[in-house]
Amino acid sequence: MSIFCKPISSKKRFLSFRKLNEIYSFSIFEKASSIPALDWEHVLHNKTLFLDVPYLTLLEQCTHVKLNFRYILVYYKTKPCGIIYIQIANFNLDLFSNQIDTLKFNKLNIFKKIIGSNKNDDHLMLITCGNNILSGDYGFLFDEKINQKLASELLLKIMDVISKEEKLTGTISATLIKDFVKPLEPKKLFESKNYFEFLVEPRLIIQIQSNIKTLDDYVASFSKKYRKRAKAVLNLFLDLESRILNAEEVKKYEIELYDLYSQVFDRAKFKLLKLPQNYFSDLKAIYPETFFVKAFFYNKQLVAFVSSFLMPMASIEAHYIGFDYELNTKLDLYQNILYSLINDAIINKCTSVNLGRSAAEIKSTVGAIPENLYCYIKPQNTISKLFLNPFIDLLRPSPWIPRNPFK
């Protein structure tokens, strides 16, 4: 199939139905509010709320870096057949300054000089097909009639057009396609377009067997050593009061929730996008029946929370958490959050819990199993090739020891 679309400049790039070939075309939109909702939903068809227009609209308020968005509709003749979601982040290399001494790569000294000499400028424009605040393949969807080879061809051509038209003039620039449970195919196509495949931190999944009816049942399936540890953690939970917040309460505690979230964010290894303060209250307003915020109180003080989505196919997806680090050692807040998610899944008769990535070893001690996530990155210029290794090093999983708590 011949795909011959060329990049164009100025406002012409936002014209509708730009041709990819004789039968496929695409349209680009800068704002979620500009998306033809019926065409977008025709492809999305409620497959995931993380590509839902109201959710994408909320993400436009994210802070911490300069951020732009591109929403692409792909058409077969005049019928929508694909959607692509792109985040364009401009950020300073200071974002990595705290990690430099831990990075082991051949061009470290050159990298330090780049940071030291241009601290006030934007150095990296990262174009991401997907969502930088979520783990998962939330970057594109195509109609089931389009096979993977054709979908990959269409995606890569459009990514190439977007990259050229966004004028990646930063000192270091790259395009990223992120978070797939299975490698994208055909592999040779991605290699021919200079995309490098690598693994990031896995997401951790809890599988709940049909015979598990209570959290006690779940813990009882542990070996003696892990069962003893779990009970010790859960005993600390007796000092906490927990409850699901309604929409009014999420708004009431908005500042406290954001402070607890910020404590976790500030300690993160890779801090790209920071949520807006109103994120949790707005999400609750948009998805009152599927988005939940559970708060944990100690001596009537809000000390931790966990947000989650009740997903289709009987699954709970952990979203963002926050907790008081000073009290974490005393109350083991983090592990109690994990057990609380498992308990909620059991109560809601779910078969799995997606705990997301990070803290893999701790999550494995409560029964989570790692699921690999594949990403693809393409450097856009000579200096970005120097930057490729340290950037990937930040995203790659840290060494950890998987634990098996079950009998």
pLDDT tens readout for residues 333-392: 999 999 999 999 999 999 999 999 889 999 999 999 999 999 999 988 766 676 677 777
Count Cα atoms within 13 angstroms, Cβ side, for 35: 28
Q: Give residue 207's pLDDT.
A: 97
pLDDT at 16 exceeding the cut of 80: no
Same domain, 230 and 316: yes
Residues 173 and 232 grouped into a single domain: no
Concatenate the DSSP letters of all residues of 223-274 into one string.
Answer: -HHHHHHHHHHHHHHTT-EEEE--HHHHHHTHHHHHHHHHHHHHT-SS---B
Which residues make Cβ contacts (< 8 Å) with residue 10, sequence separation at least 6? none
pLDDT at 164: 86
Using 50, 70 and 90 to split pLDDT, how confident is the model at 115? very low
Output the pLDDT for position 119: 47
Amino acid sitting at position 344: D
Torsion of CA 272, 278, 283, 284, to 10 degrees: 140
pLDDT of amino acid 120: 46
Residue 311's DSSP bridge partners are: 315
Residues 279 and 308 reside in one and the same domain: yes
Closest CA to 262 of 321, 306, 216, 302: 321
Task: Mark out the alpha helices in 88-181 (DSSP H runs).
Answer: 108-117, 148-165
- Same domain membership, residue 216 and residue 171: no
Per-residue CA distances from 75 to 43, 86, 129, 150, 267 (Å)? 10, 17, 18, 13, 43
- Measured CA distances, 141 to 69, 80, 137, 306, 370 (Å): 17, 11, 9, 29, 24
Residue 365 lies in a domain: no
Distance CA 291, CA 285 (A): 9
pLDDT of 168 strictly over 90 = no
Q: Taking a C-beta distance cutoff of 8 angstroms, is the pair 70, 14 a contact?
A: no
Residues 37 and 83 in one domain: yes
**Residues 215 and 183 occupy one common structural domain:** no
Token pair of 382 as six digits: 């000579």
pLDDT at 103 over 70: no
Residue 108, pLDDT score: 45
pLDDT at 172: 55
Is residue 403, in this structure, part of any structural domain at all?
no
The candidate with the shortest Cα–Cα distance to 346, out of 183, 220, 245, is 220
Q: How much is the pLDDT for 290?
A: 95
Percent of the chain with pLDDT over 90: 70
Count of other CB atoms within 10 angstroms of residue 235: 10
Asked whether residue 3 is domain-assigned, the answer is no
> Does any domain span residue 400?
no
Q: Which helix (H) or strand (E) holds 200?
A: strand 196-207
Of the two residues 101 and 213, the one the predictor is more confident about is: 213
Alpha-carbon span 270 to 138, nearest angstrom: 19
Q: Mind listing the pLDDT tens digit for each residue in 61-77?
A: 876 667 889 999 999 99
Average of per-residue pLDDT across 281-297: 97
Could you check whether the bond before residue 186 is cis, i.e. omega within 30 degrees of 0?
A: yes
Based on the fold, state whether residues 58 and 108 are members of the same structural domain.
yes
HEC letters along 289-335: CCEEEEEEEECCEEEEEEEEEEECCCEEEEEEEEECHHHHHHHCHHH
Asked whether the predicted pLDDT for residue 117 surpasses 70, the reply is no
Residues 187 and 234 in one domain: no
The reply to whether 193 and 268 lie within a common domain is: no
Specify if 361 maps to a domain.
Answer: no
Higher pLDDT, 308 or 312: 308
Statement: residue 289 has pLDDT above 60: yes
Do residue 54 and residue 192 come from a single domain?
yes
| Average pLDDT score over residue span 168-188 | 84
Q: How many domains does the chain have?
A: 2
More confident residue, 280 or 102: 280
33 burial via Cβ count (<10 Å: 0-12, 13-18, 19+):
exposed
pLDDT at residue 113 tops 70:
no
The pLDDT value recorded for residue 359 is: 92
333 and 383 together in one domain? no
Write down the pLDDT at residue 165.
86
Name, in order, each residue with C-beta under 8 angstroms of 197's C-beta and a sequence gap of 6 or more.
183, 187, 190, 374, 375, 376
Compute the distance between CA of residue 360 and CA of residue 319 in angstroms, rounded to an integer.
Answer: 15
The parent domain of residue 56 ranges over: 10-201+372-395
Is there a domain that residue 175 lies in?
Answer: yes
Please report how the helices 279-286 and 254-266 are oriented relative to each other, as an axis angle in degrees rounded to 10: 120
Q: At what angle do helices 333-347 and 224-237 cross, to 10 degrees?
A: 100
Q: Which amino acid is at 307?
A: S
The two three-digit tokens of residue 144, written as one number: 């089931």
CATH of the domain at 193: 3.40.630.30
pLDDT higher at 110 or 304: 304
Amino acid letter at 201?
E
Q: Is residue 104 included in any domain, yes or no?
A: yes
238/345 same-domain check: yes
Cβ(304)–Cβ(292) under 8 Å?
no
Residue position matching structure tokens 């790692």:
370
pLDDT at residue 251, as a whole number: 97
Nearest to 19 by CA among 193, 152, 158, 177: 158
Task: Kindly tell me if the per-residue pLDDT of 267 is higher than 60.
Answer: yes
Tell me the whole-structure pTM to 2 decimals.
0.88
- Assign 268 a pLDDT band (cuts: 50, 70, 90): confident
Q: Calculate the average pLDDT of the chain.
A: 87
272: tokens are 């790209």
Residue 220 pLDDT greater than 90, yes or no: yes
Q: Is residue 362 assigned to a domain? A: no
Say yes or no to pLDDT of 134 above 50: yes
Least confident span in 7-16, 99-108, 130-139, 187-196 = 99-108
Please indicate whether residue 368 or residue 266 has the higher confidence score (pLDDT): 368
Q: What is the pLDDT of residue 39?
A: 97
Say whether pLDDT at 105 is over 50. no
